[in-house]
Amino acid sequence: MSAPDPHPSLRVVESCAVIAVLRAPTPELALQAIDTLIDVGINGIEVTFTTPDAPQVIAETIARHGNKACVGAGTVLTARQVGAAADAGARFLVSPGTEANLARAMTETGLLTMTGALTPTEVMLATSLGVDIIKIFPGSLGGASYLNSLRGPFPEARFMPTGGVTADNIGGWFASGAVAVGAGGELVPAAALKRNDMGDIADRAQLFVDALVACGKRGETP
């Protein structure tokens, strides 16, 4: 089963290489964390809808950083959230699973669309719905070797593992064929956000940037 034609924003996501999955308790902490990540060199930002006022955070990030950041919406669960994210200026949409009606609403926006899958059946469904990137979630269940196995029957599919991605194992994910990776708690821990510890987040972001350099996947300005 062939992958859909490349979306114009696909190159941008690939150049970012790491998409930071942000689940912040307040909009203010979300924006501080985003500023910190971008300053260090993590330019791919996924603002999840578990973050209060997620569309406003997306819009404010774009106002602050412009094309320096590639900002999208994550944990998209409803068509209403799809519309709100698109109106806020999101460049990509991410859902943790693949539900046909929701996936269609996402692709109809014309934005880069990523939906979650784990099994071959789910990968086939996502591909048939025209999803641009298949989010392997949770990636920690199978690891990089599982992604490598999936690429056997689906060589043209584009995969982005999320969940269990660390600075130490990121090279293995790319070696197994990931076009990008999503990093949540290992990059932006809930505890660091809660205590407003931007130094911890900056240190973690630097580890990811260093790991990208080591495996030949430098983050580039979109």
Residues with active-site annotation: 46, 135
Beta strands in the chain (DSSP E): 18-22, 44-48, 70-74, 92-95, 112-117, 133-136, 159-161, 181-183
Nearest by Cα to 1 from 178, 157, 176: 157
DSSP string, 6-71: PPTTHHHHHHH-EEEEE--SSHHHHHHHHHHHHHHT--EEEEETTSTTHHHHHHHHHHHHGGGSEE
Helix axes 54-65, 27-40, angle to 10 degrees: 40
Q: Whole-angstrom Cα distance, residue 147 to residue 164? A: 13
